[in-house]
Structure 1
Amino acid sequence: MARFMFAAHDIGGANMLAPVMPLAIRAGHEVFPFADGPALAAWRGMTAKDCDKLTSLASAVGETAPDLIITGTSRASEMERSLWRIGIERGVTTIAVIDSWVNFHNRFIDASGAEILPDAICVIDEWCRRRIEAEGWCGARIHVVGHPHLQERLGRTTALRKGRTRAETPRLTFFSEPIREVMGFAKDQFWAAGEMVRALGGIGPACFTVKPHPTEKAETWRRWRDHFKNVKHVEIEIAGEDDAEALFIKSDVVTGIHSIALIEANFLGIPVITMQPDGPAGGNPRLDTLPGVTVASNQDELGRALKSALAGGDIRPDAGVVYEVVNNAGARLLSAIEKENDA
């Protein structure tokens, strides 16, 4: 059996890897989790070591003596990219998981602008593989594995949404993300949420809940809410520590920009409206391929999309797409890891 070092900084990578670690342990492998940033809290129950408290990542790799290093792909942190370099220097195979459908190449560019690739990359579906291969930059081996976190959560949330009926006042959830910082958009998430609230004010009573991104402070959104006190018929809530799962269960419509939460909502059959300042494919082109997702780029399109979503019920997602993403995803990711270990 093998020794696997898992590492993550961002919550997306941490979530995708979390279900695989117990599977690896049950298969007889030794697992050593390391984390910093948002991933540290996500992996608290796995007794992950805090990378900020290490003497160095190199010493941690030396002490752990892993057969494989498996990481997330964070943009803001250099931790995972540093581990790939250490793996290259020491002859340890490195694997990175891409936990979403956006920003493929940027995940492998370090702070100096240099490209650094692991030995293998695990992606969610064939659509991701085709996009990466078409971009022409990837020299790493690519495995299509699904998304273990979505496999677990969709199973729970689908059962809890079954049989629900809409309340008299419809509930919309806006999943925020720092689009100006991450995507370089001219407009930001506060603009997008504001456009939603203004459009709702002309439609009728609604409850609009903002789910801040893990990197955002709820207080910033509460100050934003103060600018919309005069908008009639719209009750604005700022979610605190609410689990996204609870928000999915009670939402009639999910909105945002290009968060993976929008795709998760679509898989649950919830109507989705994505506000794309740069038009279709400006943020997450995968959203443009899914039935039940409406792209709005201006106030007129947004108003029509909201009226349609609020007038209808749940939608029927593409069963083939959902199956590819969630079917045995944990086992498929572990199989890819073991295949790299045996290579």
Structure 2
Amino acid sequence: MKRAKARIHKLKILFAAQDIGGFQAIAPVMARLRKRGAYEVFCCAASEAAARAKRTGIACKNCGGLGEARLRDFFTDVSPDLLCVSTSFGNSLDKKLMRIAKAKKVLSLAIIDFWSHYRDRFDSLPDGLPDKICVMDGTVKKEMIIAGFPARVIEVTGNPFFDTFRTQKRNLKKGNAGHYIVFFEQPFSELFPQDDHRFFGFDEIEVWQDIAAALSRLEIKDIIKIKFHPRSRKINKFDEINRRHKLNVEIDERTSVEDLIEGSKLAMGMNSAVLFQAAMAGKKVLSYQPNLQQDDPLVSNKLGLSLGIYRKDELEKAIKSLLKKGIGLKNKKKIDYYVNNDATGKVLKIINKVLQK
């Protein structure tokens, strides 16, 4: 008689995200793990992350409506060996699950997806930090250590989402200089009141008013597409400004961010991660942050891959200059550090290391 094969017990990993940026950071890691089959992979999401998972066909339970007790039951049913989360503000899904993981003595790992508000991402975790925190670069690690995070928990891996970026090489090969201007909105007026410590010193209404006025004075005839952030609720907030300046504005709700970037001749906004993505694609990028009251979180400005403008009286000249410039090769070494870094593979190595403890 043939002997029955022993059943191999696979370790379980539960992934979780609440925001789109965070979900995009964990998605490549889940995809590679599911392809390899070495671990059992589970996913739960809330809010914009749940909508993104559904839209992209990624298997992920919507936990947005679960209270603490039901979320605890879900966690117990999965019984993960490792919790892997992206980070968000407030009492978010990732924090709720990390509290449960700590109570059950389950290992945890967090992935940070952007250069800002590090303490806010972990501020409601009285039982301590995750076992490991994966960050984009050495700058984040230094800033987190200054903010009081222990160096031993921080691993520089890059953001796995950056592995998926369309590159400047593709755009240059296609001769894609673009044929419209795109403005990527962020709903700061809806998210951060002026007395909030996260308030940057400006909001999207002030920023678009200044940009629209500058474009009008320059007599720009190009199509100007506005892409609202998924969290934006007041999508008519710019209507009066647009009527006043009579620009050729289109509100684009259907085109993907990737396609909007690829077809643009100039990408503008405040400090959205999408501007970083456009800069990595070799596009001309203007980041307008008037009267900025915090450190600039858009690292592409610091790298010289996008243009940061912080004063209203410099805006018009900057737009005019960028529109005159042709598309050209940006600093390949700087871009490769972020987009040809195999951040997904580096996060997987940290996962393996944590699970082998």
TM-score (norm 2): 0.86
Q: Is the 8 A contact 2:30 2:41 kept in 1?
A: yes
Asked if 1 retains the 8 angstrom alpha-carbon contact of 2:202 and 2:291, the reply is: no
The question of 1:62 aligning with 2:62 is answered: no
Gaps of 5+ in 1: none
Q: From the superposition, tell whether residues 133 and 173 of structure 1 become closer, same or farther in structure 2 (CA, over 3 Å).
A: same
Q: Secondary structure at the match of 2:182?
A: strand
- Cα distance, 1:134–1:288 mapped onto 2, change above 3 Å: farther
Paired amino acid for 2:149: W
RMSD, matched Cα: 2.3
Please show how residues 137-156 of structure 1 align to structure 2 within 5 Å. Answer: 137-138=149-150, 141-155=153-167
In 2, the alpha carbon distance for the partners of 1:318 and 1:166 equals 17
Whole-angstrom CA distance in 1 between matches of 2:215 and 2:293? 22
Q: Which has the larger radius of gyration?
A: 2
What SS class does the counterpart of residue 165 from structure 2 fall into? helix
Pair 307,53 (structure 1): closer, same or farther in 2 beyond 3 Å: closer
Higher mean C-alpha deviation, range 27-36 or range 129-138: 129-138
Specify the alignment match of 1:39 in structure 2: 49
Residue in 2 that maps onto 1:18:
27
Offset of residue 229 of structure 1: 1.9
Q: How does 1:1-343 map to 2 (within 5 A)?
A: 1-27=10-36, 28-44=38-54, 45-54=57-66, 56-110=70-124, 116-138=128-150, 141-155=153-167, 159=170, 162-166=173-177, 171-180=180-189, 181-182=191-192, 183-204=198-219, 205-217=221-233, 220-232=234-246, 234-279=247-292, 282-284=295-297, 286-326=299-339, 327-343=341-357
Per-residue CA shift, 1:271-296, capped at 9, x if unaligned? 11111122486441524312242222
Q: Structure 2 stretches of 5 or more lacking a match? A: 1-9, 193-197
1:228-271: CA deviations, max 9, x gaps? Answer: 22425x31111113210110111111111111111111111111
| Per-residue CA distance 1:18-59 (angstroms, 9 max, x = gap) | 111121123311001011111112222222112135462211
| Deviation at residue 160 of structure 1 after TM alignment | 5.3
2:206, 2:316 → 1: CA distance?
15
Q: Secondary structure at the match of 2:114?
A: coil
Contact 2:209 2:241 in 1 (8 A): no
Quick one: which amino acid aligns to residue 324 of structure 1?
A: Y
Question: Comparing 320-329 with 57-66, which one deviates more in the overlay?
Answer: 320-329
Greater alpha carbon shift after TM alignment, 275-284 vs 120-129: 275-284
The alignment-based identity, stated in percent, is 27
